[in-house]
Each structure stands twice: as C-alpha cells, then as structure tokens.
Amino acid sequence: MSEPSLFGVPVNAIPTPALVVDLDRLEQNLRWLADYFATRPAKLRPHFKSHKCVELARRQVAAGSCTGTTCAKFSEAEQLVAGKVSDILIANQVVGPDKARRLAALNRATTVRSAVDSRVNARELAAAATAAGVRIPVLVEVDLGMKRCGVSAGAPALELAREITGLPGLRFDGLQGYEGHLVTLPDHAERARRTRQAFAPLAHRRLRWPGMSRHASDRNEPMPRTSTPVKDAVCVQAVNQFASCGHKRLVLIPPAATAAGDVRTEGGFREAVAQARASGIQAEVVTHDGTVPGIWCLVDGLVARPQPSTAFLVSRVHYVLTVVTSLLSSGVKLPAGVALISRDNDTSLAAIVPSLARYSQNPKTFAANASRLVMEMIRGFGSIVEHKIMPTFIRGETLGRPPAL
C-alpha cells in the first residue's frame, strides 16, 4: 500500500511522528562536515539515534569522511544492514545467544562491530561466530567514569583484550570509551578539560598499565605501531604517480554508496591533491551509482568536457572493468587519451590489454604484518606510531611513462 502524497499539506497537518527535512540545508551541512574532516586524522561515525532514518544514514556515509555508522541497539543495526548501510558499530554490548547468532548472521553481509566488557560475552559471541563461519569484530569498552558499562582501564582492559585475541571467531578492533556523564556540562572549557582527562587512559602518550612491565616509552624504544589504512596511502602515491607523468587534471571514481575503504581513499586523494595544488594539479571526486549504464554515462561526460580529465583513479575491481570498457568503446586510447590506475587488484585484471596499472597486496604478507602490529598494540597499549602497510605498485601500460627529461 503506497503512502499518500503530502505535497501541499500544511506542516501542522502532517501525521506525527514525521521527519521533515530541508534537503538543501541538509546537503550543505553534510558537505561542510565531510570537507572539515577530509584532511584530518579523526573521521566521522554518525549516530543513527539522532534521526533513526536509514536514508539519512546512507547520505551521511556517502558524503565522505565517514568510517561508518554508529547505533545503540541491535535492532537498529538490523535496520541499517537491511538498508544497505555498511560498516556499523553497535556502541553497546550484544548479550544472549539469540542476539549473538543474529549478530554473526549480519556479519555475512557487512561489518557489524560490537562492544564487549566481559569474558562471558566475548565467549558467547565467539561461539556464535564460529558456528556461523564468520568473524565478529569487537571493541573492548573502557569505563571513562560514567559507571554504566565497560571495564576499568589498565590490567582489566588488557586481560580482556588478550582473551579476545585468543578466541576463534572474534577480531579485536581496539578500544571504545564514552564520556556521557560530561556531555551536559554547560561550560565549554570545563567540558573540554574533563573530557581530555577522562580519555587519558585510552590516549595518554606515556601511559603505564598496572601489572605490566615498564612501558616502551620509558625505555626510549619505539612505541607500538598500527597500520594506517592502506587505501589512504595508496591514493597519495597514485596521485604522485599521475603527477610524475605530467597529468594536471585528475579524477577519483568511487561508488556513491561509500564503504569505509572508499572514505579513506577519498581522504587520501584530497590530501595528496592539496599538497600538489601548487604545481597546478586540479582534481575532483565523481561518484557513480554502481550500475553499468550509470558508469558509462559518467565516463562519457568526463571525456566529453572541453578540458577533460586525463587521469582516472578507480576503486573496486568490477567497476574498473566497466570504466575501461567504456573508455575503449568511446574510442579513448589508454594511456594516450586517459591514464588509469586501479586502486585494487584481482587475477581478472591481469588479462586486460593494455595492461592495467594497479596496486597488489600479497595477502600473506599483509596478514603477517597486521597480526604483528596488533599484538604489539595489545602488549603496549601506548602511544601509536603510524605505520603504513603499502601494497606493491604494478606499473601497467595504462599509466604511461614519465616525460623524458
């Protein structure tokens, strides 16, 4: 049964509850937020409870600078997954065998994280994940003073993290803290001071956890490292590759329904372009709807401009194939007309002629490096030193060669 049209109906006559949105103002606000965080280390993870509208959640993620979406309840996570929203954090504990099974099932479709603050709950989730053949990513929740949930900072958090890393079916993704008891403080300076104080156990540079040996920072040794998102680093290098070949007009082509990896890609792209802008480089991010007709239409528009973009960075293997096919069908020669780099790699790309410039990560090498870094973080829980696990760049024919000096 279709909903009746509300066009022309006075606002006070709209059945409630109803969400009434000024779309122009909404899009403007989303752009402002995305642009503000585009070049900053912190990213957005908007909370579903602020509007409880799946369409708005999709728009928030698609706007950029988002690592995913947050929700408070398991039922909200189910709504978001049904609405094709990816990378979801349930900022609470998912307790009970029934919900544990349902959480495992959701992780077949996308990433749905949960907070954990007890061994019993961790083992419950691990059993459900193992039975479903998936891995559930979890965060150890640390109590920052709200006294609602979470373990104490220090040895209790460390012991729970070690428990999680030893359980099959779980993936330790880090720590979570919430200073909810401070958000209503009216004085901004006081709220900021107490918030930094509350988060000190999670972020302080020279934290020594009770019950542990002296911290690496006290021995003048390197601090534990963690991996910067590969997509971010790849994008920075790809822009430099294009620049070295003399390209001035670049375009990043990701899907509109942005996953966390695509958000990091866009952030890296914008960061690299901002750094290279002095050399005359112009760039833009142009999204597509994921359909073959939509991608063909987008590519046709890009190459038909009076001053067309000459370098394409494309994310996702299946979209790369569509972009290449569209370019070749339009008579555009690679790399003479357009240079192209694929952010990702797959065995299918090796058969394309001309050969594709692309990034390839050896899965065994990546897994070994990531595991080592996570274990260092668990043992130290100290300040994080950025470490980028870069894939190998395969210089295919679609990039071309730098101009002769």
How would residue 42 be classed by pLDDT, with cut points 50, 70 and 90? confident
What backbone torsions phi and psi does residue 227 show, to the nearest 5 degrees?
Answer: -85, 130
Which residue did the predictor score with more confidence, 361 or 356? 356
Task: Write down the mean pLDDT value for the chain.
Answer: 81
Does this model's pTM top 0.85? My answer is: no
- CATH class of the domain at 44-209: alpha beta
What backbone torsions phi and psi does residue 359 show, to the nearest 5 degrees?
Answer: -110, 135
> pLDDT by residue (tens digit) across 169-210?
999 888 888 888 888 888 888 888 888 888 877 764 333 333
- The encoded tokens of residue 381 equal 């829980």
Cα separation, 78 vs 66, in Å, equals 20
Most confident of 63-72, 214-223, 359-368: 63-72
Domain with CATH 3.20.20.10 in the chain: 44-209
**In the prediction, which pLDDT does 228 show?**
39
Mean pLDDT calculated for residue range 32-56: 87
Which residues have C-beta within 8 Å of that of residue 306, sequence separation ≥ 6? none
Mean pLDDT calculated for residue range 113-119: 95
> pLDDT by residue (tens digit) across 276-325?
766 788 888 898 888 888 898 889 888 888 889 999 999 888 889 889 98
**In the prediction, which pLDDT does 223 show?**
34
Which range among 86-100, 252-266, 364-378 shows the weakest confidence by mean pLDDT? 364-378
Cα separation, 122 vs 61, in Å, equals 29
Helices (H), 245-291: 260-276
Domain with CATH 3.40.50.2300 in the chain: 230-362
CATH for 230-362 (3.90.190.20, 3.50.50.60, 3.40.1000.10, 3.40.50.2300): 3.40.50.2300
Which residue did the predictor score with more confidence, 93 or 200? 93
**In the prediction, which pLDDT does 205 show?**
32
Task: Give the other-Cβ count within 10 Å of 132's Cβ.
Answer: 19
Mean pLDDT calculated for residue range 261-276: 77
Which residue did the predictor score with more confidence, 13 or 278? 13
